[in-house]
Amino acid sequence: MPGRRVPSSTARRIPSRIWPASGRRVALRSSVNASCQDNWTVPPGPKWCGRVILALGGMGGMSIFTPPVRTVTVADAVFTAVPQYVLGLLARPAVPVSSPSSPAYADARLRAAEDRVHARGSDRAGIAALPPVAGWRAAHRAVGGDPVRHPCAAEALLRRHAGGGRLPRINSAVDLANALSLESGLPVASMAVAGLDGELTVRPATGTEVFHPLGSPAGTVEAPAPGEVVYADAAGTAHSRHWNWRQGDTVRTVPGTHDLLFTVECAHAGGRAEVSAALAELRTELGPPAGEPLLLDAERRSAPVSFDPLDCLRGRIDALDDRILALLGERVAVVREVARYKSDESAVRAPARVEQVVRRVTALADRHGVPAGLAERLYRLLIEELTELELSHLR
Ligand SMILES: C=C(O[C@@H]1C=C(C(=O)O)C=C[C@H]1O)C(=O)O
Residue nearest to atom 1 of ligand 1 (CA): 335
Measured between alpha carbons, how far is 18 from 294 in angstroms, rounded to an integer? 34
The values of phi and psi at residue 385, to 5°, are: -65, -40
Atom 3 of ligand 1, nearest CA residue: 348
Which residue in 276, 354, 375, 367 sits closest to 319, CA to CA?
276
Q: According to the CATH classification, is domain 70-307 in 3.40.50.300?
A: no
Spatial CA neighbour of 307 closest among 297, 319, 315? 315
Residue 19 has pLDDT above 90, yes or no: no
CATH node for 317-394: 1.20.59.10
What's the 342 CA to ligand 1 centre distance in angstroms? 11
- Stretch among 154-163, 285-294, 351-360 having the lowest mean pLDDT: 154-163
Q: Residue 335 Cα, ligand 1 centroid: separation in angstroms? A: 7
pLDDT at residue 103, rounded to an integer: 57
Residues 289, 170: Cα–Cα separation, whole Å: 23
Cα gap 147→128, rounded to integer Å = 10
The percent of residues above 70 in pLDDT, for the chain, comes to 82
| pLDDT grade for 228, boundaries at 50, 70 and 90 | very high
Q: What is the pLDDT of residues 88-146, one digit of tens each?
A: 999 999 999 998 766 567 888 999 999 998 888 778 899 999 999 999 999 999 999 99
To test ligand 1's pocket by mutation, which of 328, 334, 335 has the most ligand atoms within 8 angstroms of CB?
A: 335
Residues whose beta carbon lies within 6 Å of some atom of ligand 1: 335, 338, 349-350, 353-354, 357, 383, 386-387, 390
Output the average pLDDT for the chain. Answer: 84
Interval 249-271 mean pLDDT: 97
17 has a pLDDT exceeding 60: no
Mean pLDDT of 230-234: 98
What's the rounded mean pLDDT across residues 227-245?
Answer: 98
Cα of 381 vs centre of ligand 1, distance in Å, is 12
Residue 104 pLDDT: 64
> For the ranges 39-43, 140-144, 248-252, which has the lowest average pLDDT?
39-43
pLDDT at res. 102:
60
Which positions ≥6 away from 27 have C-beta within 8 Å? 3, 39
- Whether 182 has a pLDDT exceeding 50, the answer reads yes
- Ligand 1 centre distance from Cα of residue 353 (Å): 7
Q: Measured in angstroms, how far is the CA atom of residue 348 from the centroid of ligand 1?
A: 7
- Whole-number percent of the chain with pLDDT over 90: 73
pLDDT digits (tens, 9 = 90+) for 297-331: 999 999 999 999 999 999 999 999 999 999 999 99
φ, ψ of residue 249 to 5 degrees: the values are -75, -30
Going from the Cα of 383 to the center of ligand 1, the distance in angstroms, rounded, reads 6
How does residue 66 score in pLDDT terms, banded at 50, 70 and 90? low
Q: Which pLDDT value is given to residue 67?
A: 61
Compute CA 31 distance to the chain's CA centroid, rounded to the nearest angstrom: 28
3-state secondary structure 27-54: CCCCCCCCCCCCCCEECCCCCHHHHHHH
pLDDT at position 124? 87
For residue 122, what pLDDT is reported?
79
How high is the pLDDT of residue 162?
75
Rounded CA separation 153/139 (Å): 13
- Predicted confidence (pLDDT) at residue 38 exceeds the cutoff of 70: no
Distance CA 75, CA 361 (A): 48
The pLDDT assigned to 119 comes to: 87
Confidence at residue 318, expressed as pLDDT on a 0 to 100 scale? 98
Is pLDDT of 340 > 70? yes
Interior angle at CA 267, CA 196 and CA 214, nearest 5:
35
Q: Are 114 and 161 in contact (CB under 8 A)?
A: yes
Arithmetic mean of pLDDT, 31-41 = 27
- With bands split at pLDDT 50, 70 and 90, how would you rate the model's confidence at 163? confident
Residue type, 350: A
The per-residue pLDDT for 3 is: 34
- Complete DSSP assignment for 334-346: HHHHHHTT--SHH
**Which residue's CA is minimally distant from atom 13 of ligand 1?**
349
Burial class (CB in 10 A: 0-12, 13-18, 19+), 222: middle
- Quote the pLDDT of residue 64: 52
Is the pLDDT assigned to residue 274 strictly greater than 70? Answer: yes
Delimit the domains of the chain by residue range: 1-65, 70-307, 317-394
